[in-house]
Amino acid sequence: MDYMAHISIDYKKMLGKPCIKGTRITVEQVLRRLSEGMSVESLAESLPSITAKDIYAAIAYSADMLKMEESIAS
């Protein structure tokens, strides 16, 4: 998935946090709601300015960011 077609980072908007393009809805907000048990369909319905594709793009973006993180064994 080309998630960058759905995600934008603008340092003048939401302090540079990654957002769904054209909105002030952050990737973090999307992930939080999903982690609380909200379904993709319910989330898209509750935020009519985003689509299921935007939500999946937020998940893909997050996975790629985590892939780049360096793990430190404890």
Nearest alpha-carbon partner for 20 in 28, 74, 12: 28
Q: What is the pLDDT of residues 22-70, one digit of tens each?
A: 999 999 999 999 999 999 999 999 999 999 999 999 999 999 999 887 7
What CATH number did the domain enclosing 27 receive?
1.10.10.10
pLDDT of residue 1: 78
Q: Is residue 73 included in any domain, yes or no?
A: no
Quote the number of domains for the chain: 1
Q: Is residue 53 included in any domain, yes or no?
A: yes
Range of the domain at 41: 3-67
Q: Is residue 74 included in any domain, yes or no?
A: no
d(CA 52, CA 71): 30
Q: Is residue 72 included in any domain, yes or no?
A: no
Q: Is residue 47 included in any domain, yes or no?
A: yes
